[in-house]
Amino acid sequence: ISSLAGSAGVSTTDAGAGAAFSLNQVGNTNYAGVDNSTVNGASTLEIIANENATIRTLAGALGAGEKGFSGSLSINNIGHNFLGSHPNTTIAELKNSTVTNGGGTAITVKGKEESTIDSLAGAVAIGTGGTAAGGAIADNNIQTTAKGSVSGTLIENSNSLLIRGENTSTINSASLSGS
């Protein structure tokens, strides 16, 4: 998601006010799996689920006049929203199966979560008559799960087994205000 919210209120004789609001939400489920299967003779078995949801947003406001007022609010959620929790879930699994190989199988079961929020909220208020007020708020949340699992599976002659859930999600955010 890429979003831009902005406003400007300018008056030469009275108050100038500007307000900006941005709301962005992502809720996904990613699944990669082998279930109730037989894998024979594979030298490599990779089951990988990967998520990289991205929100990039800018919310800015300007208010200028004899009295200047401005405000901006940016709310960004990955895996959570106001109507209830919808977690971003990334699952890789091997279950109820059989994996055999006489020479050895390298098995990887990995769920990887790499979501990113880049957010900037800004407000500028200019009061030529001496009164000015501005504020900026950025609220950013990432609620994600990354999981790798093996259950109910017979593995014969494996030379390596990697089961991993990895979450490297990041939030980069700034809120700036001046009056």
Per-residue pLDDT of 108-130, as tens digits, reads 999 999 999 999 999 999 999 98
Output the pTM of the full model: 0.83
**Residue 159 reports pLDDT greater than 70:** yes
Whole-number Å distance between alpha carbons of 114 and 61: 31
Q: Look at residue 70 in the predicted model and tell me its pLDDT.
A: 95
Amino acid at site 64: A
Helix (H, G, I), strand (E, B) or coil at 143: coil
How confident is the model over 20-48, as pLDDT tens digits?
A: 999 999 888 889 999 999 999 888 999 99
pLDDT at 81: 52
- Mean pLDDT rounded to a whole number for the chain: 91
Average pLDDT, integer, range 73-78? 94
